[in-house]
Structure 1
Amino acid sequence: MHKFLIHKQGDHVGVATSDIEFGEKVIGVYMDDETTIEVIANSSIPLGHKVSIAQLAPKAHVLEYGLPIGYAPDGFKIGDYVHTHNIKTLRW
């Protein structure tokens, strides 16, 4: 059973559909074609929050819905919790 959804192929993050525990191996489903991906959570991720499904270099843009939603000042590893503490807006 899946524990997160990814809006589009090419997105860098998925959204938790239930709480995800540290170290848990979880399945995500791409909403555009129903393929799946499996990641291991690097920390606990609450329902509705984001999990990284891509390795990103420092200052790389973060994609969701196929669009940049911000940038990752320190980069991300697959399975990282993505939230306001490690993603910044592109607006300022």
Structure 2
Amino acid sequence: MENSDTDPRLLVLAPGDNIAVARLEIADGTVLQVAGRSVTLQRAMGFGHKLALRDIAAGERIVKYGAPIGSATVAIALGDYVHSHNVASNYMASTVPVEAAL
């Protein structure tokens, strides 16, 4: 999905997503347009890695492909790297004890 307010090196997969995906490797220090605002990357982004399209509150769902893929474990600022250090998977949560599932 194209978004003229976001750098073409980033891909927004569906309306309502709050993250974008890197279409290629992007070096730290690179200035990108993200949702119409200039953002300087604080760390390099690998191909397929995620970046916040807006501020995301701690506990808020991370939405990719129009579906929640996890929840923010801390506040994530516009343009921040979104990965396992600041997201908990919603798929890993279970109400069934592991022993009972075996």
TM range (shorter): 0.7 to 0.9
Return the offset for 1:75.
2.0
Q: Does 1:90 align with 2:96?
A: no
| Largest Rg, 1 or 2 | 2
Return the offset for 1:42.
3.0
Q: Tell me which of 14, 18, 21 is aligned to 2:24.
A: 18
Contact 1:52 1:78 survives alignment (8 Å): yes
Aligned counterpart, 1:48: 48
Identity of aligned residues (%): 28
Aligned counterpart, 2:57: 57
Question: RCO higher in 1 or 2 (8 Å CA, sep ≥ 6)?
Answer: 1
Runs of 4+ in 1 over 3 A off after TM superposition: 36-39
Spell out, residue by residue over 1:48-90, the C-alpha distance to the aligned partner (whole angstroms, 9 max, x if none): 1111112011111111111111001102111111111211111
Q: CA RMSD in A?
A: 1.9
Q: Aligned in 2, Cα 1:6/1:38: closer, same or farther, shift over 3 Å?
A: farther
Aligned counterpart, 2:69: 69
Return the offset for 1:37.
4.8
TM-score normalised to structure 2 length: 0.72
TM-score normalised to structure 1 length: 0.78
Paired positions, count: 85
Which secondary structure does the structure 2 equivalent of 1:88 belong to? Answer: strand
Bigger strand fraction:
1
